[in-house]
């Protein structure tokens, strides 16, 4: 058998297969045009079944979503303490003015600085315990310190040199050895929980 004979046989088989497929499709199309009794009834039941299945799928997915969210929410809230709200800088019952911003409320306590005060010689310095990993709470300020109002430092007005003559003296630079003063944070008094 030569190569040309094999190709010719394959082409004849492909032509037969194509004619068969074309005649079957034409016959199926003619049969589809004729109405069949009871076909509309089957379509209505299929549509109803598909709608019911879709509704069940949507309800099931929604229920699963809310179940997972509620379950994870309960697990996460049980392991973490509730977050307290951030205190406001100004009390809501007093209007904001320059005087209020510059003078603190005498009922408020000054904030404790982040760095501890230098320890006296011979006293042990507090360190976090290895078992709990927590640092002990700082001591509360003395009652006399809470009663003294904070007075901001007074600044004297400075004169600005004219732009036509350059300054012969260098401007002062801040010193690194000057101790930093802790800033006062205004915290509202604790409110009772109902």
Interval 19-30: pLDDT, tens: 898 888 777 777
Residue 95: inside a domain: no
**What distance in Å separates the CA atoms of residue 112 and residue 140, rounded to the nearest whole number?**
8
The enclosing H or E element of 146 equals helix 143-147
Predicted model pTM: 0.23
Q: Is 109 inside a domain boundary?
A: no
Query: Length of the chain, please?
Result: 194
What tokens does 170 get?
A: 């260098």
Structural domain includes residue 162? no
Q: Given a cut of 90, is residue 108 above it in pLDDT?
A: no
With respect to residue 55, please indicate whether it lies within any of the assigned structural domains: yes
Is 124 within a domain?
Answer: no
Q: Domains in the chain: how many in total?
A: 1
Query: What would the two tokens of residue 118 be?
Result: 């230098």
pLDDT top residue among 169 and 65: 65
Give the pLDDT score at 176: 54
pLDDT in tens, 156-185: 766 666 656 555 566 666 655 555 555 555
Kindly state whether residue 138 falls inside one of the protein's structural domains.
no
Among residues 194, 189, 186, which one has the least CA distance to residue 150? 186
Which domain covers residue 59, as residue numbers? 3-32+44-69
Which helix (H) or strand (E) covers residue 62, if one does?
helix 39-79
Mean of the per-residue pLDDT values of the chain: 69
Which of the listed ranges 52-61, 73-82, 168-177 does the model predict with the highest average pLDDT? 52-61
The answer to the question of residue 165 being in a domain is: no
Is 139 part of a structural domain of the chain?
no
Q: Is the confidence at residue 45, as pLDDT, over 70? A: yes
Q: Which two tokens stand for residue 23?
A: 């005649």
């Amino acid at each position: 058998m030569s190569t040309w004979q094999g190709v010719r046989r394959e082409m004849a088989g492909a032509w037969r297969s194509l004619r068969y497929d074309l005649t079957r499709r034409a016959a199926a199309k003619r049969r589809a045009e004729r109405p069949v009794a009871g076909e509309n009834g089957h379509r209505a039941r299929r549509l109803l079944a598909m709608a019911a299945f879709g509704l069940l799928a949507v309800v099931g997915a929604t229920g699963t979503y809310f179940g997972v969210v509620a379950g994870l929410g309960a697990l996460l809230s049980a392991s973490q303490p509730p977050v307290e709200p951030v205190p406001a800088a100004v009390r809501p019952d007093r209007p904001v003015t320059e005087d209020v911003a510059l003078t603190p409320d005498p009922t408020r306590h000054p904030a404790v600085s982040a760095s501890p005060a230098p320890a006296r010689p011979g006293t042990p310095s507090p360190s976090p315990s290895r078992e709990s990993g927590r640092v002990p709470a700082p001591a509360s300020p003395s009652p006399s310190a809470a009663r003294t109002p904070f007075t901001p430092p007074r600044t004297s007005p400075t004169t600005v040199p004219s732009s036509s003559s350059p300054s012969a003296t260098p401007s002062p630079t801040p010193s690194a050895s000057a101790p930093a003063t802790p800033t006062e944070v205004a915290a509202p008094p604790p409110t009772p929980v109902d």
